[in-house]
Amino acid sequence: MSLVAHSLDVIKRLQAPSGAYPASPTFSAYRGYSWLRDGAFIAEGVSRHGDVTGADAFHAWCARVVGDRAGQVDTLVSRAGRGEEIPSAEMLPTRFTLDGVDGDDDWWDFQLDGYGTWLWALREHATRHGRLAPGVEKGVRTAARYLTAFWHVPCYDWWEEHVEQRHVATLGSVHAGLRAAVALGVLSATESAAATSAVEGIADLVAREGVTEGGFLRKWLGSDAVDASLLACVEPFGLYPAGHPVGAATVAEVERQLARDGGVYRYLADTFYGGGRWVLLAGFLGWNHARAGRRDDALRYLAWMAAQATPSGDLPEQVPDLLLAPERRQEWLDRWGPVATPLLWSHGMYLVLADELGVTA
């Protein structure tokens, strides 16, 4: 079975009856949970390969999960409007159980990027297949109100770290999500105007504070470090398109600092499981190269992704060779066991990049 076919099979087989995509079926820290961010990219992968039903079910699940919290969002927005500082623990979570309820264990939960990424993926799916999944309007409006009110607030990044910072990859995710919400045409005139104003505010903030003197995007405002999550600010989110000098410089700097032998690190100070190269990040770098017309470079990253599959075809979260901090690997093995395998987001990103390149194997 080709890796494309296996990826589609793994994702379809593990999708919950609710429509949620589990992050990883066996990994101790992820088991039983679905992330909006991971799931959105998984849905994008299967949508590109014709699994309309599976993607529809995921987007309907997201819409229910978010829409069910409309009252909570309204309360949060009202409190913020009165000038109240809201603890991060009271904000919406970044992950939900497969049945769509809040988890009951501690997690680094306040992340905005997943809500923006879901809205972006929903619009991509709707545009590709010529229709909006039924019943998603309330969820879209709720997510848009939430992001419009809180886009400027520091929160955890893609990697559940540094809640005290404003992360450029998060800002790029929200920017894309609010643009998508407006384009979907389900917001009221007032909501649409507010979302558009937020989009403009994000673009202005990043232009002023989010670009280094070297011309590439920062990991967070005030830092000169880079992070592989910044790749998404170019493709697919288009905060700075591939042809823009900042977009091109960001991709080049991420590749210079973080890519090695086909794989991509999250960031140079990473110690999670020893700081290995992530399969899904090779997919993002390849995606950027494909959109920029560098097909051979993109194919090289796709080939590296495929080479990391287990004998049964499953893709892991990261690989244990060429670690940045090998002395830190054992503590994570002791804490959570072997690296997440399969990671459905890795399979989703393989599907995305394979589609970009017209590869069916």
327 classed as catalytic: no
d(CA 341, CA 88): 30
Q: Given 113, 157, 255, 270, which residue is catalytic?
A: 157
Question: Which parts of 16-51 fold into alpha helices (H)?
Answer: 36-48
Neighbours of 334 (CB within 10 A): 8
Give the separation between CA 36 and CA 350, rounded to whole angstroms.
18
* 119 SS3 class: helix
Examine the residue annotation and report whether 213 is marked as an active-site residue of this protein: no
Q: Is the dihedral of CA 47, 23, 17, 116 positive or negative?
A: negative
Cis-peptide, bond into residue 236, ω within 30° of zero = yes
Whether 314 and 355 have beta carbons less than 8 Å apart is answered as no
Please check whether residue 322 is in contact with residue 308, taking contact to mean a CB–CB distance below 8 angstroms.
no
Q: How far is CA 353 from the centre of its chain?
A: 15
Q: Please, are residues 52 and 73 in contact by the beta-carbon 8 Å criterion? A: no
User: Is 104 one of the catalytic residues?
Assistant: no
Tokens 């697919």 correspond to: 236
Which residues form the catalytic set?
157, 160, 317
